[in-house]
Homo-oligomer: A and B are copies of this chain.
C-alpha cells in the first residue's frame, strides 16, 4: 500500500534494536484519515470473504480494527492483556510474548464473544515474531470458530513471524512489509505483489 509506505518513510523512525517507531500516526498519535484508507485496503484484500467479527489485541490494534470494521460491517472484539476485574471468569486465554515490550502477557477473551459460528479476521498493527497473531488464532481455535485470515499494517519481513504464519496456512495480508531497515540508511520495503 503505497500511501502507507510513503508515510512510514516520511514519519517513521528507525531505531537500534530493530525498533520502527510509528507513534506519530499509528500507535500513540493516530491519523484517523490514514486509518480509513488502511481499513478500505483491508476490506479490498478480503472482499470475497464472509467475516462476522474482527479480533484484535489491546491497545494499538483497537484503532485499526474499529476503523476497518466500518467497511466490514461487523463488530470488533479485542483481547485484553491481563485478567481484569471487569471480565467474566469464562474466558479463552493464550500466552503472548511482546517483541517491542519484552514482556509476556496472558491474553484473554470472554467466551461469549467468540462463537463456533463466527468467521474471524484478525487485525493488528505490527507483525514481528508473530506471537500476537498466533495467540489470537489460538483463541479462535479454542472457540471452535473459523479463522478467515489476518490483516497486518506493518510486517517486519526480516523477522520470522510472517513466514511462520503463512506456513501454517493462515491467509495473511500485510499492507507494508519492511525487508530491511537501518537507522542510517533507512527502510527498504518488499516489492508489492
Judge whether A75 and B19 touch: CB under 8 Å: no
* Segment 23-82 of A: residues with Cβ below 8 Å from B: 23-25, 27-33, 35-36, 58-59, 62-63, 66-67, 69-70, 73-78, 80
A84 interface neighbour in B24, B73, B100, Cβ under 8 Å: B100
Tell me, rounded to whole Å, the shortest Cβ–Cβ distance linking A78 to chain B: 7
A105 CB contacts on chain B under 8 angstroms = none
Given the interface pairs A24-B113, A59-B62, A80-B59, the reply to whether A32 lies near B86 with Cβ below 8 Å is no
Q: Does A2 contact B (CB under 8 A)?
A: no
What number of copies of this chain does the assembly contain? 2
Judge whether B76 and A63 touch: CB under 8 Å: yes
How many residues of A are in contact with the other chain, CB < 8 A? 41
Judge whether B66 and A84 touch: CB under 8 Å: no
Taking each of A19, A35, A76, A110, which has the highest tally of chain B beta carbons within 10 Å of its own beta carbon?
Answer: A76
A36 CB contacts on chain B under 8 angstroms = 70
Judge whether B62 and A86 touch: CB under 8 Å: no
Q: Does A87 contact B (CB under 8 A)?
A: yes
A32 CB contacts on chain B under 8 angstroms = 66, 69-70, 74-76
A78 interface neighbour in B25, B59, B84, Cβ under 8 Å: B59
A85 CB contacts on chain B under 8 angstroms = 19, 100-102
Tell me, rounded to whole Å, the shortest Cβ–Cβ distance linking A115 to chain B: 11
Judge whether A23 and B86 touch: CB under 8 Å: yes
